[in-house]
Structure 1
Amino acid sequence: MNTQILLLGGNQGDVIGSLKKSIGLLSERLGQPILVSEYYESEAWGFEAEQNFINQVVEFNSVLDPAELLDFTQKIEKELGRNKKTGTHYESRPIDIDILFFNDKQIELPRLTIPHPKLHERRFTLLPLLDHWADFVHPVFQKNILQLEESCQDAGMVKKLSV
């Protein structure tokens, strides 16, 4: 079995509904989630957006390899209304599923890098990770999530939601 830690997020439509539906669809193939973070609201990162994002981290254990997991998450994104990016810039979206970690491996594929190459720069990723994975050691930086969050330079608004 492979441990897969994913970041779910979006800022269009019923985002919490989309997050719940994503977890349900992921569970159909990956099994029930092992751990799920709280919901976090954040400003858009890397671009201006009318709506804030809502994010959540979820952990699964499954037999899928990284490429199969990427294909599966992209299929769910499309099913829930995500369109292909119109350019190279970040943009608003109903759902986004990022693979943050796959076991404790470093993986480089033509269309996938694990750990997610920007997770240490983004408080909207690090704060939900603190819910259950504060001691998880990043396989590239050899620092745990708490240490990465403490050194993160991102000053954007991120707050836990009470839903």
Structure 2
Amino acid sequence: MKIQRTTYFSLGTNEGDKLSNLQEAINLIYQEIGVILKIASVYKTPSYGFTGNNFYNTCIKVSTHLPPEQLISKLLSIEKKIGRIRTNSNEYSNRVIDIDILLFDDEIIFSENLIVPHPRMLERKFVLVPLTEIAKKLNHPIEKKSISSCLENCSDNSIISVLEEQLIRPIPITEKYNYIAIEGNIGAGKTSLAKMMSDEFNTKTVLERFADNPFLPKFYEDNERYAFPLEMSFLADRYQQLTDDLAQFDLFKNFIVSDYYIFKSLIFAQITLQKDEYKLYRKMFDLMYKEITKPDLYIYLYQNTERLLKNIKKRGRDYEQNIEADYLQKIHDGYINFIKTQPNLNILIIDVSDLDFVKNNEDYQFIINEIKNYNA
């Protein structure tokens, strides 16, 4: 589990579409740094330390797992993406965006690239006014006084006015969804993604217990003989696990990620069972399916067949090594047919064929941003 820390940023801009600059900065911070917990109002302030356009300023409260040095690097990158060009000059100037770290938990940091608390924050009303709005009782770690007290003692007499326009707080995954089910073909990476999301968001997980099924190795040796007992045992186990595990969690308080959804039982059964077996199986499935909690978001990870075969070979499960491409294609077709017939299920399809989200953090962040930005 990644440890989350609380940090406060000051955002300012006095060039171009100033509201859009602030919103873009907030959106990028959400995508690349962490959850936006609070956003202050936008304040119109005069330029500070030089003659220039009026600024729009705000402060935000952010939860992040990034350490301070990595955090400042990310913020500089975000400024650059929005269009800021930094110079070697120490003089104040107009800028499309300026993002400063004000506080990082209650830490005091002195390093070559970062000083926290920000050394000049107590001198600036355009920082203290919006910061007081969202953190008035928070103590400054050096002054040992609340932020609101620091504002009262600030000697800056700049005229600051609040604007009516409001910035939009991006809704994090943990607030947007309570229960996400991740699905995909054999070797698509659904369990890996579920575990990574659990680590990232401190979620409860429900992971399929396929390794405990005694019929699975036998099925790959003799499909026809062991298909029905395999599918029935999987259905019973999945039903029991989902009903038992989900019952333990409060779906309104916990964020839950599972690496399967019970409908996969029907998809595989359609492929492996004889016609008469499938009819009996379907009756049992329909009874169980009515009782299963439906996910808020169903994610289907698509991997092309060539990549799936490589992944299966790499993970080295003996009983999977003889799986053929046409079997994987049938499974994929089954998932697609299922997706087409589920208008009431919130479904997101992500093509991960060219991604290695386990080893490459950028690929993992791409998937997370797909989930963050998805709107049904």
CA distances 1:24-60 after superposition (whole Å, capped 9, x unpaired): 11101233311110101101111111x1000111111
Please tell me whether residue 139 in structure 1 is matched to residue 145 in structure 2.
no
C-alpha displacement at 1:86, in angstroms?
5.0
Find the counterpart in structure 1 of residue 219 from structure 2: none
Find the counterpart in structure 2 of residue 31 from structure 1: 34
Structure 2 contact 125–156 (Cα < 8 Å) conserved: yes
Question: Normalized against structure 1, the TM-score is what?
Answer: 0.96
Q: Which runs of 5+ in 2 are unaligned?
A: 166-376
Residues 1-163 of structure 1: pairs in structure 2 closer than 5 A: 1-49=4-52, 51-163=53-165
Separation (CA, whole Å) in 1 of partners of 2:99 and 2:90: 17
Structure 1 contact 135–145 (Cα < 8 Å) conserved: yes
* Greater than 3 Å deviation, 4+ residue runs: none
Q: Please state which structure has a larger fraction of its residues in helix.
A: 2
Structure index of larger Rg: 2
Q: Give the total of aligned pairs.
A: 162
Q: Please state which structure has a larger fraction of its residues in strand.
A: 1
* Paired residue secondary structure (2:36): coil
* Paired residue secondary structure (2:118): coil
Letter in 2 for 1:95: I
Question: How big is the alpha-carbon RMSD for the aligned residues of Structure 1 and Structure 2?
Answer: 0.9
Structure 1 contact 85–91 (Cα < 8 Å) conserved: no
Structure 1 contact 82–95 (Cα < 8 Å) conserved: yes
* Paired residue secondary structure (1:33): strand
* Paired residue secondary structure (2:83): coil
* Paired residue secondary structure (1:139): coil
Which structure has the higher relative contact order (CA within 8 Å, separation 6+)? 1
C-alpha displacement at 1:132, in angstroms?
1.4
Question: Normalized against structure 2, the TM-score is what?
Answer: 0.42
Q: Which runs of 5+ in 1 are unaligned?
A: none
